[in-house]
Amino acid sequence: MTTATRAPGDVDLADIDLTDPRTFLDRQKELVGIWRAFRTQDPVHWHAVQGRAVPGFWVVSRYRDVMEVYRDNKRFTSERGNVLATLLEGGDSAAGRMLAVTDGRRHRELRNVLLKAFAPRVLEPVVDGVRRRADRLVREAVARGTCDFAQDVAEHIPMATIADLLGVPAADRDYLLSLTKQALSSEEEGQSEEEALVARNELLLYFSDLAAERRDDPRDDVVSVLAAATIDGEPLNEQEIVLNCYSVIIGGDETSRLSMICGMHELIGHPEQWRRLKEGEVTVESAVEEVLRWVSPAMHFGRRALTDVEIGGRTIRAGDVVTLWNSSANYDEDVFDRPEVFDLGRTPNKHVSFGYGPHFCLGAYLGRAEIHAMLSALRTHVAEAALTSPARPIHSNFLHGYSSLPVSLRAER
């Protein structure tokens, strides 16, 4: 992302189709300006949809309105989908069982169960693994001199981390990786939906078997925690166990991977910021937060309204689909000073890249740790980095980032 190329008045919001991934590819350089136009011209905007059963959806673009909806899971629900694709299809088949698409008491109970698997005691060794892996992958890439940073470096961190967290045995990791790639990848256009469905079912079967093993022989991992959990004296059912294993993969793989890839991309594009990081003028911690704000890896999430409710002066009707654009809220000039400037030392930096409120990202600590490990490894081992050919953006209206980032890396002496 770069600074705006059009004045806000130049954008006709009716021309912007947010359901179409091509909007985010073809107009990538204009996006900052487009989102500014949404915030200033019509901050709670009605977006029509052609040729589908839904009349349309709301586009919420200002920080304060985005926060208001995120905060409120009484008047807005995630149980009928939480991203545009499922919201427009009419629902999510995992609703009421998978954390991210469950609300009310069951959500609180499930979240408390999962929080045990994200306790610092459990995460500490996982984060150690992240650091070691990032350091080794960057050192190896530097030794080669050139690499595809997306495929050779960043791709090998999040799934390995999630496999550690879930407690997947080493022998099963390649199998799991190939299944998750087929099941989830939103990167390429024209993927077979059937292949993805088969892989998704195999993943669920895999976790069902692993949960049965862990029930007899528990360890310190997510699968064991879910397999042993009880709510009101009742164990979780099979579906809840496997869907929530799956939800950790969905939540934690692409988002973290794209953040690391975009972090590298932006450091190359902003040599002055790279210098500040290298020379210790900014902390790695604040650099992590600015990468998260700037990249906004999950561009939007969404809800359905349960009652009539007023947001930003517009009346949203019960049943309406509401989308919350992190990629706009994170650039809201009412909250961020000169938001179009990539500033690794930015403070305060209260971005919404991990959402907010009851569904706030369960893996935020881990996501931050992954980006931190990557930036630290780059700072330590890389003297200079450059693009060797253009990055390839992913095809998505939900996630932002690149599937390929060919770079040359010169070693630090």
By CB under 6 A, which span of 176-184, 193-201, 230-238, 352-360 interacts with ligand HEM?
352-360
CA dist., res. 257 & res. 264, Å (int):
11
Instruction: Name the residue among 383, 136, 149 with its Cα closest to residue 278.
Output: 383
Residue from 34, 117, 248, 305 in contact with ligand HEM (CB under 6 A) = 248
CA dist., res. 284 & res. 287, Å (int):
5
Could you say whether residue 86 binds ligand HEM (CB under 6 A)?
Answer: no
Min dist CB 183 to ligand HEM, Å, is: 16
Min dist CB 92 to ligand HEM, Å, is: 11
What contacts 24+ positions apart, CB below 8 Å, involve 170-177? 172/206, 175/206, 176/203, 176/206
DSSP single-letter state for residue 49 = -
Residue from 251, 312, 339, 406 in contact with ligand HEM (CB under 6 A) = 251
Could you say whether residue 127 binds ligand HEM (CB under 6 A)?
Answer: no
- Please, are residues 73 and 359 in contact by the beta-carbon 8 Å criterion? yes
Contacting residues for 380 by C-beta, under 8 A, at least 6 apart: 135, 138, 412
Residues 177-236 that bind ligand HEM (CB under 6 A): none
Instruction: Name the residue among 249, 229, 34 with its Cα closest to residue 117.
Output: 229
Contacting residues for 293 by C-beta, under 8 A, at least 6 apart: 330, 336, 346, 349, 351, 353
Could you say whether residue 246 binds ligand HEM (CB under 6 A)?
Answer: no
Min dist CB 86 to ligand HEM, Å, is: 11
Q: For residues 37 and 298, which CB has a smaller minimum distance to ligand HEM in the complex?
A: 298
Helices 104-117 & 238-269 angle (0-180, nearest 10): 70
Residue from 33, 81, 312, 363 in contact with ligand HEM (CB under 6 A) = 363
Min dist CB 329 to ligand HEM, Å, is: 11
CA dist., res. 227 & res. 208, Å (int):
9
State which amino acid sits at residue 1: M
Min dist CB 19 to ligand HEM, Å, is: 18
Could you say whether residue 255 binds ligand HEM (CB under 6 A)?
Answer: yes
Residues forming a β-bridge with 304? 77, 321
Could you say whether residue 366 binds ligand HEM (CB under 6 A)?
Answer: yes
Q: For residues 165 and 407, which CB has a smaller minimum distance to ligand HEM in the complex?
A: 165
Q: For residues 357 and 390, which CB has a smaller minimum distance to ligand HEM in the complex?
A: 357
CA dist., res. 394 & res. 331, Å (int):
21
* Binding flags for ligand HEM, 51-80, as an x/- string (CB under 6 A): -------------------x-------x--
Residue from 58, 76, 294, 354 in contact with ligand HEM (CB under 6 A) = 354
Q: For residues 110 and 309, which CB has a smaller minimum distance to ligand HEM in the complex?
A: 110
In angstroms, how far is the first alpha carbon of the chain from the final one?
32
Residue from 273, 353, 376, 397 in contact with ligand HEM (CB under 6 A) = 353
Neighbours of 308 (CB within 10 A): 12
Q: For residues 196 and 364, which CB has a smaller minimum distance to ligand HEM in the complex?
A: 364
HEC string of 226-268 equals HHHCEECCEECCHHHHHHHHHHHHHHHHHHHHHHHHHHHHHHH
Residues 158-187 that bind ligand HEM (CB under 6 A): 162, 165
Q: For residues 13 and 306, which CB has a smaller minimum distance to ligand HEM in the complex?
A: 306
Q: For residues 182 and 244, which CB has a smaller minimum distance to ligand HEM in the complex?
A: 244
By CB under 6 A, which span of 9-17, 132-140, 203-211, 243-251 interacts with ligand HEM?
243-251
Residues 287-326 that bind ligand HEM (CB under 6 A): 297-298, 301
DSSP single-letter state for residue 100 = G
- Please, are residues 117 and 221 in contact by the beta-carbon 8 Å criterion? yes
Min dist CB 78 to ligand HEM, Å, is: 5
What does the binding site for ligand HEM look like in residue numbers (CB under 6 A)? 70, 78, 82, 99-100, 111, 162, 165, 247-248, 251-252, 255-256, 259, 297-298, 301, 353-355, 359, 361-363, 366-367
